[in-house]
Structure 1
Amino acid sequence: MATLCRDCLRVTAEDLAACPSCGSHRLVRHPELLRLTVAHVDCDAFYAAIEKRDRPELLARPVIVGGMRRGVVAACCYVARTRGVRSAMPMFQALRACPDAVVIRPDMAKYAAEGRRIRTLMEALTPLVQPLSIDEAVMDLAGTEALHGAPPAAVLARFALRVEREVGVTVSIGLAPNRLLAKIAAERDKPRGFAVIGRAEAAALLAPEPATLLPGVGPVLARRLAAAGVTRLGQLQALSDREALARFGEEGPGLAARARGEDPRPVRPEREARSISAETTFERDLREAAELERPLWHLCEKLARRLGEKGLAAGGVVLKLKTAGFALRTRHARLPAPTRLPETLFEAAQPLLRKEADGTAFRLVGIGAQPLAPAAEADRGDLADPEAPRRAARWAAVEALRARFGEGAVVRGRGLRTR
């Protein structure tokens, strides 16, 4: 049994109740502790933690980061979570559960900057850092022990202390032999946690857990599994590949393997984006196509800008609408050729929007690019659309003027506010 003190970083081969060097009880014990290299790092209530760091008077208060009453919860602190508040909860429900909460509008630029600071600290430990979101990443520290003079477990504990000291927020760490188990471990000891799942114990540890513990098993798949009599991971573990294929199709064998804790995915430093999107929640419900089109145009401009920043193009569009009753509608349209132009995105989404504008009250509209294509394939023009390169040049000129003189320097007519 190996033991690591998370405060003084002492590593011993004894199973101790307290650190003999500093007296700390923040110890990590595990037989495989010194052999595991894959870590899932998740910042604790990141947006809310940043706001509490910057406003210490809120330290003991319930804090919700999100839109005002008509929006949703982007993040909440652990004090708010004890009152029943959860991420993605409609704001009116969150305030009903926690009426004394302090609500703060998101400052995404600030959160992104702090996320980059933390990622820089990760990249100083290993080149194998794969970002999963603004506040979450997976790392592989295999082969770094000689470089750091310590096993990965101790390096990770030191990293967590450095984040607390330099950034002012806490992280939770899951250490395991693969990405799946590392993610599950990271969720077991939040906040400010450090949990370990070893290879030898994985299947037995997962067996009694619900099938929904596995990432990717959402409500639809969970219902399919339940209809087949499968609610626990142990039931999936018992299936051979042939049985899993017969009962659940092509995804069956992989599902059974994950239930056993198997995951062959490597840690890739660059995460491939699957979609890029933008959305907005209205201050009041909108019903008419004409009044929905103006925010949709602004979102198409925002989406085009994000595509440009990522060096990508849209091969299709996804329109997202949320009704006043929180029912979600998504509609898809494939583009004849990839684009990064807001007007092309808008022209593809506009018919989808008009078809849905049947008098229903909508609280949110969004537009996404899916599938994605390389920027080099965008707006090249052909016999069907020879003007595409000129439109691309105009859009680049507009963006250059806005970068220099501000967003209001050039405004399309459909983007003007109505009185």
Structure 2
Amino acid sequence: IARQSGVRSAMPMFKARELCPDAVIIKPNMAKYVEVSRAIRTHMEALTPLVEPLSIDEAFLDLTGTERVHKAPPALSLARFARKIEQEVGVTISVGLSHNKFLAKVASDLDKPRGFAVIGKAETLGFLEPKPINLIFGVGKVFYERLKQDGYHTIGDLQREDPTRLMRLYGESGARLARLAQGQDARRVSIDGDMKTVSSETTFNNDISSLDALSTELLKCSERLSERLKAKNLVGDTVTVKLKTAGFKLRTRARHLMMPTQLANVLYETGLSLLQREADGTAFRLIGIGVSGLETADGTDPTDLLEPQVARKAAAERAMDRVRSRFGRTAVVRGKLYTSRPDVTSAPASEEEAEDLEGKT
């Protein structure tokens, strides 16, 4: 009934209630989720020390060089791992095995639930060739329609195209499209033991429950966070929103980005999607946003494979940065913040160890 009423996954609770007032809402057992997640993580680390969590229920593992330790190739080790998780933890998992992150993620989505798929190097191009372009992460509805209008319907169409033409048509987005169409992804698995987070948070003088007011404060934090990342020449691939209720209960929600970023607009929109899920009328006294999975920026904006308006927003933000660097940070102010007067006591800068994204509620 809820689905028929228009309720979908990740929709803010207040919107779901509007669409389906008779919906039965069951509070999640986060303590149980965390317990299971940590149990699975322990088994992962027994396979390899190179584990990069994406969320509470997903991670990348690098099994390079583990054959001698486990006396088995990666495929067999992962098959044993999946069986062990089902027997000892009591949940089923889906496994995708390939030679880079992009293809491993694609493989993991092929045969859910309880799936196991392998994409080998030799079969990469043939596997990708007939697939629709929106199989590539980040190709949204608008960009996909534009690609089809330009004559690109399948990944094979991109494989056969001159990369310089794709770059001429779509900028850096086209260059990365060309690489991924060839199954090329140079990102490495990054262990979270090396991860730090750069964050910004604000405590209010008066508790706030309005989504509009909370989103305004989130935007301010996102801009400060972006400034710090740019100053340090860093990008990050995991965004975490932190909220503290009037009763001092801490909530954190995180989302992994397929492309690392330092852009305030990307940070804010990602954070807003997380905030909307928590803005159910609860009064909050603190809000913050942080980024982990940090790496040195490569000088290009992570706007590839996204809708064209995202690239335009990125270009506008870079222009704002240039104006601010010359005339001061108040020379250009976003419209949402222009008349805003913060009712806050602090906006501390922080660069600290990454929070446990698996467990705080």
- Paired residue type of 2:127: L
Residues 153-172 of structure 1 correspond to what in structure 2 (within 5 A)? 153-172=75-94
Tell me the secondary structure at the aligned position of residue 124 of structure 1.
helix
What whole-Å deviation, never above 9, does each CA across 1:298-335 have from its counterpart, x for those lacking one? x876399789xxxxxx997848768x9xxxxx9x999x
Q: 1:128 to 1:356 in 2, by over 3 A?
A: same
**Which range moved further: 133-142 or 242-251?**
242-251
Residue of structure 1 aligned with 2:97, choices 170, 175, 190: 175
CA contact (8 A) 1:289 1:354 kept: no
Distance in 1 (alpha carbons) for counterparts of 2:56 and 2:176: 28
1:46-195 equivalence runs, <5 A: 86-89=8-11, 103-195=25-117
Q: Which amino acid aligns with 2:155?
A: L
Tell me the equivalent position of 1:75.
none
The separation in 2 between residues aligned to 1:306 and 1:97, in whole angstroms, is: 26
Q: 1:78-134 CA distances to partner (integer Å, 9 max, x unpaired)? A: xx9999974224668879999998632233343233212211110111111111111
Aligned residue in 1 for 2:153:
231
- Structure 1 residue 179: deviation in Å? 1.4
In the alignment, what sits opposite 2:163? 241
Q: CA deviation at 1:288?
A: 8.4
Cα offsets for 1:367-410 (capped at 9, x unmatched): xx9xx97349xxxxxxxxxxxxxxxxxxxxxxxxxxxxxxxxxx
User: Which residue of structure 1 lines up, in the alignment, with residue 303 of structure 2?
Assistant: none
TM-score normalised over the length of structure 2: 0.54
Could you list the per-position Cα deviations for residues 21-47 of structure 1 after superposition, in whole angstroms to 9, with x for gaps in the alignment?
xxxxxxxxxxxxxxxxxxxxxxxxxxx
Pairing of 1:211-290 with structure 2 (within 5 A):
211-270=133-192
Aligned partners of 2:3, 2:78: CA distance in 1, in Å? 27
Partners of 2:5 and 2:113 in 1: how far apart? Answer: 16
Code of the residue aligned with 1:150 in structure 2: it is A
Pick closer, same or farther for the CA change 1:94–1:301 going to 2, 3 Å. closer
Aligned-partner SS, 2:176:
helix
Partner residue of 2:244 out of 293, 297, 302: 302
Does the aligned pair in 1 maintain the 2:125–2:183 contact within 8 Å?
yes
Task: Give the whole-Å Cα distance in 2 for the aligned partners of 1:179 and 1:144.
Answer: 18
Residues 333-356 of structure 1, C-alpha deviation per residue, up to 9 Å, x if partnerless? 99x9xxxxxxxxxxxx9x946858
Q: CA deviation at 1:187?
A: 0.5
Alpha-carbon deviation of 1:239? 1.7
Note the alpha carbon deviations across 1:201-226, whole angstroms, 9 max, x for none. Answer: 22122122111111122234324423
Paired residue type of 1:245 = M
Distance 1:208 1:248, change over 3 A: same
What count of residue pairs does the alignment treat as equivalent? 255
Note if contact 1:276-1:306 (Cα within 8 Å) is conserved in structure 2. no
The alignment's C-alpha RMSD in Å is: 5.2
Q: Which amino acid aligns with 1:155?
A: S
Q: 1:203 aligns with which of 110, 125, 129?
A: 125
Distance verdict in 2 for CA 1:122–1:231, change over 3 Å: same
C-alpha deviation, 1:233, in angstroms:
1.0
Task: Please say if residues 209 and 232 of structure 1, whose CA atoms lie closer than 8 Å, have aligned partners that are also in contact.
Answer: yes
Specify which structure has the bigger relative contact order, considering alpha-carbon pairs within 8 angstroms and separated by 6 or more residues. Answer: 2
Query: 1:201 is aligned with what amino acid?
Result: E
Partner amino acid, structure 2, of 1:259: A
Greater Cα offset, 260-269 or 166-175: 260-269
Distance (Å, rounded) in 2 between the aligned partners of 1:217 and 1:105: 33
C-alpha contact (below 8 Å) 1:121/1:159 kept by paired residues: yes
Q: TM-score, normalised by structure 1?
A: 0.48
Gaps of 5+ in 2: 202-208, 222-240, 253-261, 277-312, 325-332, 342-346, 354-361
**Cα separation, 1, equivalents of 2:184 and 2:74:** 21
Q: How high is the sequence identity, in percent, across the aligned residues?
A: 46
